[in-house]
Amino acid sequence: MDALNLNERVELVSSRIKQALMRCGRTEEEVNVIAVTKYGSIENMKEVLEHIRHVGESRWQDAQEKWERLGNNGTWHFIGHLQTNKVKDVLGKFEYIHSMDRISLAQEIEKKAAQLGITVKCFLQVNVSGEATKQGMAPDQVMAFAETLRKFKQIQVMGLMTMAPHETRPEDARPVFKALRQLRDEINARGIFDYAVPHLSMGMSNDFEIAIEEGSTWIRLGSAIVGK
Ligand SMILES: *Cc1c(COP(=O)(O)O)cnc(C)c1O
């Protein structure tokens, strides 16, 4: 894997995406790739941005220098646990936040976004697998949480996000992805929001093909693109 250069890794990933899409009869426009650049340098991110327009970072402390150099390039996704006191740093820079997981965070985003006059696109992070080390709300909290978010006018709920357990066979992630899709479908079936909630942010380097088969619309790829 690491013997490949960036070009070759991007090529390899796109052909694997195409094959997964073919297996389940979906089309390319339905799946977006976020290149997770958290493992790489500024130079590395610059190179990545020539191939992929969506980039993901998981800690503001690590992203800040990259943002200062490259922030006017591409679309930035915040994918890591977001501390409330970092909201002021990331809002207005990261167009998407994939880790909305608690009311206190929603309140802070609502307040700061109102000051900036912006709407923030968020994914509700769900800990489907129930692992203690994983962030996110429990699946049985999702509907109540979504109901609460209805009154947050600066927050647009794009979809749900999860991380499957890693260090396992990719196939083991399938029930996790399926459960996330069902939760999204339930939000829409109940008409919780007056808009559709179309997206599923799921699938990483180890399991993105399974995630695509289960309906992912945003896959987040770190090592498969950037290398280790
Ligand atoms: C690091 C990270 C990724 C990418 O992980 P890989 O396994 O390297 O693809 C995706 N999503 C989140 C939330 C991450 O923290």
Tally of CA atoms within 13 A in the half-sphere of 61 that contains its CB = 4
Closest by Cα among 1, 66, 5 to 205: 1
Closest by Cα among 22, 56, 47 to 14: 22
Q: Do the beta carbons of residue 193 and residue 156 sit within 8 Å?
A: no
| pLDDT score of 133 | 86
Q: How far is the CA of 222 from the centre of ligand 1 (A)?
A: 5
| pLDDT score of 2 | 57
**Stretch 158-177: mean pLDDT, rounded?**
92
Q: How far is the CA of 193 from the centre of ligand 1 (A)?
A: 29
- 45-94 pLDDT, tens digit per residue, is 999 999 999 999 999 999 999 999 999 999 999 999 999 999 999 999 99
> Which of 17, 33, 57, 58 is the best mutation target for the ligand 1 pocket, counting ligand atoms within 8 Å of the beta carbon and taking the most?
58
| pLDDT score of 132 | 87
Q: Do the beta carbons of residue 41 and residue 218 sit within 8 Å?
A: no
- Which residues, other chains included, contact 69 with Cβ-Cβ below 8 Å and sequence gap of 6+? 42, 46
Chain-centroid distance, C-alpha 149? 19
> Which of 39, 201, 204 is the best mutation target for the ligand 1 pocket, counting ligand atoms within 8 Å of the beta carbon and taking the most?
204
DSSP 190: H
| Angle, CA 192 vertex, CA 194 and CA 209 arms, to 5° | 100
Measured CA to CA in angstroms, residue 101 lies from 36, 51, 80 at distances of 20, 31, 11
What is the residue-averaged pLDDT of the chain?
96
- 1-54 pLDDT, tens digit per residue, is 458 899 999 999 999 999 999 999 999 999 999 999 999 999 999 999 999 999
Q: Which helix (H) or strand (E) holds 98?
A: strand 96-100
Q: How far is the CA of 204 from the centre of ligand 1 (A)?
A: 6
| pLDDT score of 3 | 80
Pick the residue whose CA is nearest to atom 12 on ligand 1. 79
Question: Residue 111 has which token pair?
Answer: 């307040």
**Stretch 101-128: mean pLDDT, rounded?**
98
> Which of 1, 9, 13, 36 is the best mutation target for the ligand 1 pocket, counting ligand atoms within 8 Å of the beta carbon and taking the most?
36
The residue behind tokens 């970072």 is: 57
Q: Do the beta carbons of residue 154 and residue 119 sit within 8 Å?
A: yes
Q: Which residues does a 6 A CB cutoff place in the pocket of ligand 1?
A: 36, 38, 58, 79-80, 163, 204-206, 220-224
CA-to-CA distance for 110 and 119, rounded, in angstroms? Answer: 9
Given a cut of 70, whether residue 189 has pLDDT beyond it is yes
